[in-house]
Amino acid sequence: MATLFEKIIAGDLPADIVYRDEEVVAFRDINPAAPVHVLIVPVKPIPTANDIEEADAALIGRLFVVARRIAADEGIAEDGYRLIINCNEHGGQEVFHLHLHLLGGRPLGGMVKRT
Ligand code: AMP
């Protein structure tokens, strides 16, 4: 079954798309955790970080190149931002189509709760 993000990439589900090329699509998170919260998604449906293969190395690099461009476009590059990939249950992954979170626009605090 297609994931939510495959439906967004296919145009079957609406999203606020901020970037698109043949390999990468980026759209605003529907439930933003910061003033800027964009998801950068490979068109190729890689379920989790565990499924990244050697042949995906350039594609994964492209996610970061696109993230850097969006950070500049959103005006958060200089102040800074955070890039996150959640994996499986302990990582808090909810959508099983690999995606890079770009978060910024305010100080984001500590990286994880030390509980
Ligand atoms: P993760 O927990 O890393 O799998 O993140 C999934 C993210 O997808 C969450 O931050 C959700 O708010 C976001 N999300 C879920 N459904 C949608 C949607 N239809 N459009 C945009 N973002 C979504």
pTM of the full structure:
0.97
Structural domain boundaries in the chain: 4-91+100-104
User: Is domain 4-91+100-104 classified as CATH 2.60.40.1930?
Assistant: no
Q: What is the mean pLDDT of the chain?
A: 97
For the CA of 29, the closest atom of ligand 1 is 22
Encode pLDDT of 5-31 as tens digits: 999 999 999 999 999 999 999 999 999
- pLDDT at position 1: 79
> Per DSSP, what are the bridge partners of residue 27?
17, 39
Examine the pLDDT at 114 and tell me if it is beyond 80. Answer: no
Q: Which residues carry out catalysis?
A: 99
- pLDDT at position 111: 87
The residue whose CA is least distant from atom 17 of ligand 1 is 30
Encode pLDDT of 77-92 as tens digits: 999 999 999 999 999 9
Ligand 1 pocket residue status of 6, Cβ below 6 Å: no
Strand order across the beta sheet in which 17-20 lies:
17-20, 24-28, 36-42, 100-104, 81-84
